[in-house]
């Protein structure tokens, strides 16, 4: 039987995509000036959260100086600050910030993952790189046997999780979209928590809080 520990070990050791390997390691070596004293993670990033979660958050990929630095999804950057603050407000996280893997953050009833596990240049993985990572997401979703609601952050996350869950027909991505999947599961869409969206007000704190509050309602109803 597969386990979360076995899956994490396989993710961390993966070197399947030469472009991503070269980029993540270059970033880890050159660093950003603000983090020059950090030892960057510089490897693929496994999922994180409650293994018994009913809610699964699906993003895009690790940020070059966020998760690629800290080794934990959405940790150490502005996107993560926005995400974890919302999870805390709705009762799914024990604290509103996430700075490093040892900061004491605990997620309750939620698990966070992504279809791509290495930081891609310009945050744009290729279709082939997404395909290479797909078995990790498949294994993860199989392990998350209690998951009922899947929060897709952005169109790529939506496409990945909708394909794995068998959403047919697949409605066009939109913030707040709810798409039914087989076995009573649901996909709920949100704009990604990128700075491009949060700094411009395209995605506000209230909008994201509403997505998670609705996800809790749906999880309780199934």
Mind listing the pLDDT tens digit for each residue in 162-206? Answer: 999 999 999 999 999 999 999 999 999 999 999 999 999 999 999
- Give Cβ neighbours of residue 152 (< 8 Å, ≥ 6 apart): 58, 158, 160, 161, 162, 173, 187, 188, 189, 190
Q: What is the pLDDT of residue 134?
A: 97
Task: Provide the mean pLDDT of the chain.
Answer: 97
Q: Is 68 exposed, middle or buried (0-12, 13-18, 19+ CB in 10 A)?
A: buried
The token pair that represents 17 in the structure block:
């995509």
Q: What is the pLDDT along the chain (222 residues), one digit of tens a residue?
A: 689 999 999 999 999 999 999 999 999 999 999 999 999 999 999 999 999 999 999 999 999 999 999 999 999 999 999 999 999 999 999 999 999 999 999 999 999 999 999 999 999 999 999 999 999 999 999 999 999 999 999 999 999 999 999 999 999 999 999 999 999 999 999 999 999 999 999 999 999 999 999 999 999 997
Q: What is the pLDDT of residue 145?
A: 96
- Give Cβ neighbours of residue 114 (< 8 Å, ≥ 6 apart): 45, 47, 58, 59, 60, 61, 62, 73, 157
Q: What is the pLDDT of residue 1?
A: 66
pTM of the model: 0.96
- Give Cβ neighbours of residue 121 (< 8 Å, ≥ 6 apart): 19, 23
In this structure, the dihedral spanned by the alpha carbons of residues 12, 118, 75 and 143, taken in order and rounded to 10 degrees, is -60
Q: What is the pLDDT of residue 222?
A: 77
Note whether 14 and 24 are within 8 A (CB): no
String of b and e for 105-131 (b: at least 16 CB within 10 Å)?
bebebbbbbbbbbbbbeebebeeebbe
């Amino acid at each position: 039987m597969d386990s979360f520990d076995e899956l994490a070990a396989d993710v961390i050791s993966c070197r399947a995509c030469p472009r991503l390997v070269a980029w993540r390691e270059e970033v880890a070596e050159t660093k950003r000036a603000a983090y020059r004293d950090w030892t960057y993670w510089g490897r693929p990033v496994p999922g994180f959260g409650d293994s018994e979660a009913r809610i699964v958050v699906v993003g895009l990929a690790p940020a070059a100086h966020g998760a690629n630095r800290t080794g934990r999804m959405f940790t150490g950057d502005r996107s993560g600050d926005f995400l974890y603050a919302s999870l805390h407000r709705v009762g799914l996280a024990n604290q509103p910030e996430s700075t490093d893997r040892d900061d004491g953050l605990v997620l309750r009833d939620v698990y966070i993952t992504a279809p791509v596990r290495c930081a891609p240049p310009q945050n744009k993985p290729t279709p082939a790189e997404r395909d290479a990572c797909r078995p990790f997401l498949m294994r993860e979703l199989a392990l998350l046997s209690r998951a009922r609601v899947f929060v897709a952050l952005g169109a790529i996350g939506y496409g990945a999780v909708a394909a794995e869950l068998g959403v047919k027909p697949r409605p066009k991505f939109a913030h707040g979209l709810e798409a039914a999947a087989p076995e009573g599961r649901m996909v709920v869409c949100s704009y990604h928590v990128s700075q491009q969206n949060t700094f411009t007000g395209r995605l506000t704190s209230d909008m994201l809080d509403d997505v998670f509050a609705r996800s809790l309602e749906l999880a309780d109803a199934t």
